[in-house]
């Protein structure tokens, strides 16, 4: 389709966009507020007015809202037309009538879309002499700050929070000039996506409360392209640093992964980097059992002597980079490389990887575009939040597509589609052990124990393909549901099965595999999506090794005497008794980590590891996508990347630069052959220059360290990457994987991301970051046999893990905001068992499980099936349990709560 803008001819490759999107993609700066690349058009703000002319002879034209106009063949458009410009200047003047003149004290200042548009639209002088309307603000909890006086009523917040993310506690109250965006009453925002309000709001109504405590303007932040370390999805981020501390995290767009959004754990979990628990020096255990500081050289000498027996085994980490795990494996040799996982978790990790190798996998974008969903067992809102957000889009998308086709509504016309579709949802089947925050998407969520969920999955596979094994003795209700699910998945163009290891059931993974295999036989568009527990769980699984029970065996049979633990707290991964036995059996324990924890407390020698903020490395996400995360700031010696500590201990290995270890990895295994090409090489330059991590307006550089030395130090060198710890460098847009922030002339806010995309919401210029390193095998997948649920322990109640987005992840709980939102330990019962035991909500109960007795308050949740109970998983205040397991609950509470050793 050809259109003319300012009398220049353009060929639109995709005519399904609206005129605003077309103009932005072609590089024309059309100001806007209410349109958003994902939330699309509602035509509320009137800011994106342009002039459209009938034909060449038309000299008058007419003003249209570009976001509500479909481009037409031969259409002639003017953005710079005088009347259109005047119209836009008036609109911004109206929008600014009530906006406070508080930019200097506003957290949004310097990256405010309202500032950008005001300047762009040419409104410079206030004419109104009337008082501005004011509002009372709400305390929205520890993550998001509220300042309603700044609101310009674009409705983006409620469209994101309620309409897109399914949040239930933010709405728009009042009418005419008293419109108010907020909660019915003050209180913490309930949605785990609340932090996106900070980016979605075009001005300073919603701002980052964690940033407020150590505020820095965007132009003063040193930033780099990074990858989130708080779950297995690998969302892309921009952490920002100044004065030696991390200040905030913003979304880095990745079309296939997180799109334009982050969850609150990913956005606010970063403060662990600034935690007082950080290990900043090498530490050696003394005779009196206290840890004393030693120099890096001394630490390396000591470590080498501890390793000299040659009987050392290494424990890798699901939260350390591929490089660090690889370096450890090289140091100890592959046969002495182990995973820091209990037997059950290790089994799940291996099973997951084998499924990832067998089936076509869904990226988050694929997830959001699937047309029928079967979510089997995984509570994704708590284990992989952005996956939940993508699934929500899948559920609302199917009826939208149908209505759009029927009523001829363009896909960008959000206002019309919402009205047409109302509450209708697409095929979405949810089977879970307890309540989830996606329950509203499913017509009737199926609740059962993990083994029964697996049985349902096996039955669905059998209903899809009679060759798949049948499930004996399936209850009639489950059999009927399985038929319905199978029929729906079978008729869908792009069916999706989602599962994961967090229920602790291998049968569940096998059931998901059978469904994927049965679907794949007839539909090549069928996709599988599995979650991964940590940011590099899949990367670790690609480096095979035994489990913690194997470690104990090796220590006991004398084939090993020294343990080197890389970035993991073993007490979070296995029963404390097993871990204690391991530490008792090991003669020497070396731990490399960034935060003090129960495992570093057992170490003889502790080496300080750089966090993601101070190190560059590769992480493999849940779909086998290897992505590079770049250091935001250099580590402060002696802190350094774990792989550098390990390399220093390895004889005959010299990997001075990042690309040296990447090259060694690439030749070590077929899985890693692409790790050298995930981003531009270290010698990549833009017009001969490095890419600056600091914006060109970075201030105070000469003053920052003047209290130490008035001479300005040279910027730290970065030999590993094409990025520089400096404001000097190329001003040009770097290729996708190297973009350190979004900024371009006139676009100070993150809205300027389209200047880095090939087209609005399209791939990044110069290539999307990262690459899938796991490809599905072309061989037809066989079927697993249904296995009866194995239940460990005795007792009448089956305990399953309840994951919490805030609290179940190791690092983010060291952020004050996340810690505040994390639950206190509890046990959840269904109404039937609670009634039988005479337990009321909040009553203290005694839980007996795996040889332990815990005193916990009870929660009664409607969605917990009879005979089951849920125990919060991986909470800092609860010991590790291998769940599901059987135990009992009783009303009396004679024992005191037991803590972590």
Q: Which is closer to other proteins, CB of 148 or CB of 585?
A: 148
How far apart are alpha carbons 702 and 255 in whole angstroms? 38
* Cβ-based neighbour number of residue 710 at 10 Å: 9
Residues 185-244 that bind other proteins (CB under 8 A): 185
Member of 128, 134, 173, 702 binding other proteins (CB under 8 A): 173
Yes or no: say if 38 and 414 are a contact pair by the CB < 8 Å rule.
no
CB-CB contact of 623 with 363 (8 Å): yes
Looking at beta carbons only, is 169 or 561 nearer to other proteins?
169
Which CB, 157 or 528, lies closer to other proteins? Answer: 157
Smallest distance from other proteins to CB 803, Å: 23
CB of 168 to other proteins, least distance (A): 4
Q: Give the number of C-alpha atoms closer than 13 A to the C-alpha of residue 775, restricted to the C-beta side.
A: 9
Using the minimum distance from each CB to other proteins, give the nearer residue, 172 or 601: 172
CB of 612 to other proteins, least distance (A): 36
Report residue 198 as tokens.
């900070």
**Which position among 174, 475, 782, 899 is part of the footprint of other proteins (CB under 8 A)?**
174
Nearer to other proteins, 91 or 170 (CB): 170
The count of chain residues that interact with other proteins, using the rule CB under 8 A, is: 15
The CA-based angle 90-93-98, given to 5 degrees, is: 145
Judged by CB, which is closer to other proteins: 183, or 358? 183
Residue 227: phi and psi, rounded to 5, are: -125, 135
Phi-psi region of 777 (alpha: psi -120 to 50; beta: other; left: phi over 0): beta
Q: Least Å distance between CB 565 and other proteins?
A: 46
Backbone phi and psi for residue 120, each to the nearest 5 degrees, phi listed first: -60, -40
Closer Cβ to other proteins, 169 or 674, answer by number = 169
| DSSP code of residue 273 | G
Helix (H, G, I), strand (E, B) or coil at 806: coil
* Least separation in angstroms between CB 170 and other proteins: 6
Q: In the sheet where 76-78 sits, what is the strand order? A: 8-11, 2-5, 76-78, 49-53, 62-65
Q: Is the omega angle on the peptide bond into residue 884 within 30 degrees of 0, that is, cis?
A: yes
Single out the residue of 83, 86, 169, 580 in contact with other proteins (rule: CB under 8 A).
Answer: 169
Contacts 24+ apart (CB under 8 A), 92-95: 92/31, 92/47, 92/117, 92/118, 92/121, 92/123, 93/123, 93/126, 93/127, 95/33, 95/45, 95/47, 95/152, 95/153
When binding is defined by CB under 8 A, the residue of 20, 22, 75, 170 that contacts other proteins is 170
Are 529 and 497 in contact by the 8 Å Cβ rule? The answer is yes
| Distances 210 to 199, 204, 253, 843 between C-alpha atoms, Å | 14, 15, 21, 34
Min CB(173)–other proteins separation in Å: 4
Among 61, 171, 188, 816, binds other proteins (CB under 8 A): 171
Q: 561: which DSSP letter?
A: -
**Per CB under 8 A, which of residues 176..195 are in contact with other proteins?**
180, 183-185
Q: How far is the CB of 705 from other proteins (least distance, A)?
A: 49
Report, in Å, the least distance between residue 822 CB and other proteins.
24
First vs last C-alpha separation in the chain: 69
Task: Give the separation between CA 19 and CA 412, rounded to whole angstroms.
Answer: 10
Per CB under 8 A, which region of 173-181, 387-395, 683-691, 862-870 contacts other proteins? Answer: 173-181
CA 56 to each of CA 28, 60, 64, 66, 565: distance values in angstroms, whole numbers, following the listed order: 21, 11, 18, 19, 73
124 forms part of the interface with other proteins (CB under 8 A): no
Instruction: Give the tokens for residue 8.
Output: 């220049």
Interaction of residue 419 with other proteins, rule CB under 8 A: no
- Residue 167 or 204: the one with the smaller Cβ distance to other proteins is 167
Nearer to other proteins, 181 or 337 (CB): 181
Q: Residue 690 carries which DSSP code?
A: P
Minimum distance, C-beta of residue 420 to other proteins, in the bound complex (Å): 13
Task: Indicate whether 55 belongs to the interface with other proteins (CB under 8 A).
Answer: no
- CA dist 72 and 69 (Å) reads 9
Q: Provide the 8-state DSSP code for 712.
A: P
Min separation Cβ 398 and other proteins, Å: 18
To the nearest whole angstrom, how small is the minimum distance from the Cβ of residue 389 to other proteins? 18
Residues of this chain, 444-503, that bind other proteins according to CB under 8 A: none
Closest CB to other proteins among 61 and 188?
A: 188
User: Quick one: which of 57, 105, 124, 175 contacts other proteins (CB under 8 A)?
Assistant: 175
Q: In the set 54, 132, 168, 696, which binds other proteins (CB under 8 A)?
A: 168
Residue range at the interface with other proteins (CB under 8 A); choices 172-180, 231-239, 753-761, 845-853:
172-180
In whole angstroms, the minimum distance from the beta carbon of 197 to other proteins comes to 14
**Residue with smaller CB distance to other proteins, 175 or 732:** 175
* For other proteins, the closer CB: 188 or 469: 188
> Nearest distance from residue 423's CB to other proteins, in Å?
5
For other proteins, what does the binding mask look like between residues 138 and 167, x meaning CB under 8 A?
------------------------x-----
Residue of 224, 270, 273, 276 lying closest to 244 (CA atoms): 273
Cα–Cα distance measured from residue 79 to residue 6, given in angstroms and rounded to the nearest whole number = 7
Contact (Cβ atoms closer than 8 angstroms) between residue 860 and residue 830: yes
Query: Which positions from 420 through 439 interact with other proteins, judged by CB under 8 A?
Result: 422-423
- Cβ of residue 373: shortest distance to other proteins, in angstroms? 22
Structure-token match 């779909």, residue found: 623
Alpha-carbon span 43 to 66, nearest angstrom: 9
Cα–Cα distance between 589 and 591 in angstroms, integer? Answer: 6
Piece in contact with other proteins (CB under 8 A), picked from 175-183, 245-253, 523-531, 705-713: 175-183
Taking the complex as a whole, the smallest distance from the CB of residue 419 to other proteins amounts, in Å, to 12
Q: Which is nearer to other proteins, 172 or 402 (CB)?
A: 172
CB closer to other proteins out of 61 and 171: 171
Least Cβ distance, residue 65 to other proteins (angstroms): 24
Nearer to other proteins, 162 or 855 (CB): 162
Length of the chain: 901
Interface residue with other proteins among 26, 172, 415, 861 (CB under 8 A) is 172
Contact in structure between 896 and 468 (CB atoms under 8 Å): no
What are 466's two structure tokens?
Answer: 């009679």
Tell me which stretch binds other proteins (CB under 8 A): 170-178, 235-243, 749-757, 768-776.
170-178
Cis bond before residue 562 (omega within 30° of 0): no
Interface residues with other proteins (CB under 8 A) are 162, 168-175, 180, 183-185, 422-423
């Amino acid at each position: 389709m050809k259109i003319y803008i300012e009398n220049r001819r353009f060929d639109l490759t995709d005519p399904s966009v609206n005129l605003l999107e077309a103009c932005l993609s072609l590089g024309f700066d059309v100001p806007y507020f209410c349109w958003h690349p994902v939330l699309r058009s509602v035509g509320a703000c009137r800011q994106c007015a342009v002039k459209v002319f009938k034909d060449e002879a038309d000299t008058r034209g007419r003003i249209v809202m570009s976001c509500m106009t479909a481009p037409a063949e031969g259409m002639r458009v003017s953005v710079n037309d005088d009347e259109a410009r005047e119209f836009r200047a008036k609109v911004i003047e109206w929008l600014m009538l009530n906006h406070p003149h508080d930019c200097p004290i506003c957290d949004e200042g310097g990256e405010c879309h309202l500032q950008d548009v005001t300047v762009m639209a040419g409104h410079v002088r206030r004419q109104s002499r009337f008082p501005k309307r004011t509002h009372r603000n709400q305390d929205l909890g520890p993550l998001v700050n509220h300042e309603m006086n700044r609101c310009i009523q674009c409705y983006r917040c409620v469209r994101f929070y309620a309409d897109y993310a399914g949040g239930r506690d933010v709405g728009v109250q009042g009418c005419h000039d008293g419109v108010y965006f907020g909660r019915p009453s003050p209180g913490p925002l309930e949605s785990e996506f609340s932090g996106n309000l900070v980016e979605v709001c075009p001005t300073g109504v919603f701002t980052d409360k964690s940033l407020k405590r150590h505020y820095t303007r965007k132009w003063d932040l040193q930033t780099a392209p990074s990858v989130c370390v708080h779950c297995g999805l690998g969302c892309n981020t921009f952490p920002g640093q100044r004065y030696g501390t991390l200040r905030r995290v913003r979304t880095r767009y990745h079309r296939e992964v997180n799109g334009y959004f982050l969850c609150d754990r990913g956005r606010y979990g970063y403060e662990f980097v600034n935690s007082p628990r950080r290990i900043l020096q090498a530490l050696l255990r003394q005779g009196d059992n206290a840890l004393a500081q030693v120099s890096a050289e001394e630490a390396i000498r000591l470590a080498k002597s501890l390793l000299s027996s040659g009987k050392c085994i290494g424990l890798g980490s699901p939260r350390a980079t591929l490089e660090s795990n690889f370096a450890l494996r090289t140091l100890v040799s592959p046969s002495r490389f182990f995973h820091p996982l209990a037997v059950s978790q290790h089994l799940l990790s291996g099973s997951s990887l084998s499924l990832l190798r067998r089936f076509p996998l869904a990226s988050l974008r694929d997830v959001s575009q699937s047309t029928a969903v079967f979510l089997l067992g995984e509570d994704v809102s708590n284990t992989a939040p952005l996956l939940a957000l993508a699934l929500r889009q899948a559920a609302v998308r199917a009826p939208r597509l149908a209505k759009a086709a029927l009523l001829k509504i363009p896909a960008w016309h959000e206002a019309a589609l919402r009205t047409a579709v109302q509450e209708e949802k697409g095929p979405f089947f949810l089977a879970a052990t307890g309540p989830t925050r996606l329950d509203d998407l499913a017509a009737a969520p199926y609740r059962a124990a993990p083994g029964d969920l697996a049985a349902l999955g096996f039955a669905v596979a059998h209903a899809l393909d009679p060759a798949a094994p049948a499930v004996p003795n399936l209850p009639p209700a489950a059999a009927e549901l399985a038929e319905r699910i199978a029929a729906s998945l079978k008729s869908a163009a792009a069916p999706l099965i989602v599962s994961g290891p967090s229920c602790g059931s291998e049968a569940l993974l096998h059931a998901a595999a059978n469904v994927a295999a049965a679907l794949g036989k007839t539909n090549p568009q069928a996709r599988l999506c599995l979650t991964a527990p940590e940011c590099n769980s899949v990367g670790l699984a690609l480096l095979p090794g035994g489990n913690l029970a194997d470690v104990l065996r090796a220590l006991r049979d004398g084939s090993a005497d020294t343990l080197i633990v890389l970035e993991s707290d073993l007490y979070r991964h296995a029963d404390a008794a097993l871990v204690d036995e391991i530490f008792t059996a090991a003669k020497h324990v070396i731990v490399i980590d960034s935060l003090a924890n129960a495992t570093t407390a057992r170490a003889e020698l502790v080496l300080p590891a750089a966090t993601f903020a101070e190190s560059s490395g590769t992480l493999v996400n849940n779909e086998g996508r290897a992505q590079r995360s770049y250091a935001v700031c250099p580590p402060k010696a002696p802190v350094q990347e774990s792989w550098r500590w390990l390399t220093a201990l390895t004889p005959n290995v010299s990997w001075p630069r990042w690309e040296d270890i990447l090259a060694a990895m690439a030749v070590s295994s077929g899985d890693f052959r692409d790790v050298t090409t995930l981003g531009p090489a270290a010698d990549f330059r833009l017009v001969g220059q490095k890419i600056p991590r600091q914006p060109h307006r970075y201030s105070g550089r000469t003053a920052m360290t003047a209290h130490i030395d008035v001479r300005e130090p040279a910027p730290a060198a970065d030999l590993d990457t094409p990025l520089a710890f400096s404001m000097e460098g190329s001003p040009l847009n770097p290729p996708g994987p190297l973009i350190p922030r979004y900024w371009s002339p006139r676009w100070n806010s993150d809205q300027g991301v389209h200047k880095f995309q090939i087209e609005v919401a399209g791939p990044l210029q110069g290539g999307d970051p990262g690459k899938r390193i796991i490809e599905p095998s072309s061989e037809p997948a066989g079927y697993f046999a249904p296995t009866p649920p194995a239940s460990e322990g005795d007792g009448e109640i089956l305990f399953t893990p309840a994951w919490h987005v805030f609290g179940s992840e190791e690092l983010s709980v060291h952020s004050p905001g996340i810690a505040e939102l994390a639950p206190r330990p509890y046990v959840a019962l269904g109404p039937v068992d609670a009634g039988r035991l005479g337990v009321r909500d909040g009553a203290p109960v005694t839980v007996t499980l795996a040889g332990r007795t815990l005193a916990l308050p009870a929660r009664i949740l409607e969605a917990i099936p009879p005979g089951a109970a849920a125990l919060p998983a991986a909470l800092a205040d609860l010991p590790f349990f291998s769940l599901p397991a059987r135990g009992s609950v009783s009303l009396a509470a004679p024992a005191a709560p037991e803590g972590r050793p």
